[in-house]
Amino acid sequence: MKIILLGAPGAGKGTQAEVISTHYDIPQISTGNILKEAVRNETELGLKAKSFMDAGALVPDEVVIGIIKERLQKDDCAKGFILDGFPRTVPQAEALDKMGVTMDKVIDIEVSDSLIEGRMTGRRVCEKCSASYHIENNPSKKGELCDKCGGKLIVRKDDKPETVKERLKVYHELTEPLKAYYESKGILAEIPGEGTVEETSQLVFKALEA
């Protein structure tokens, strides 16, 4: 099972990727999480990516394509994987094709911009393991701490309102054209993502098992 999750920032890709990953026992590969860890660890990659990320811009294609190329070679990808936040531009999708990776399904989670702006302000992420929560829709059972690892939950720098607006603009300009790209390959499934986490998961599985 090789799956891509498409959708605007805040559409719920990370949350749904975690659910799918557990269900099919395949890894969730999130370029956003890999980049954030690199920023935290102040690696060469992190230093290169930080200014783009803080501004709500995309990290250059060649950087993220390099990350994915390396990650997909690991043994745990043999059974399949979920790409969460990659590809985000047409050149990234073309690079995936050139690597010889054939995707089975692309799930596009549709949420309106206004709802996204509201969701972002309530979003919290674990500073240790990057698990994602929402103070109302998907709270941690441990309050300010992560259910999974006990790490502290924080507001992402790029979830600030002005940065969210920029990220949505970038999404519409550069990422949305991927819908047509995968529709023409016959593997796109569009699902509404404005309900609860569970409702959206049901629609995701319905699309995956169709």
**Site residues (vs ligand AMP, CB under 6 A):** 9, 31-32, 35, 52-53, 56-59, 64, 85-86, 88, 92, 158, 167
Q: In the complex, what is the shortest distance from the CB of residue 199 to ligand AMP, in angstroms, rounded to a whole number?
A: 22
Pick between residue 162 and residue 209 the one whose CB is nearest to ligand AMP. Answer: 162
Give the C-alpha separation, 21 to 41, whole Å.
25
- Nearest-10 crossing angle of helices 90-98, 61-72: 30
> Has 167 been annotated as catalytic?
yes
| Catalytic choice (2, 13, 36, 124) | 13
CB of 169 to ligand AMP, least distance (A): 12
Amino acid at 6: L
- Whichever of 169 and 206 has its CB closer to ligand AMP, that residue is 169
| Catalytic residue check, 123 | yes
Nearer Cβ to ligand AMP, position 61 or 190? Answer: 61
User: What is the DSSP secondary-structure string of 78-118?
Assistant: TT-EEEES---SHHHHHHHHHTTPPPSEEEEEE--HHHHHH
**In degrees, to the nearest 5, what angle opens at C-alpha 140 toward C-alphas 135 and 142?**
125
Active site residues: 13, 88, 123, 156, 167
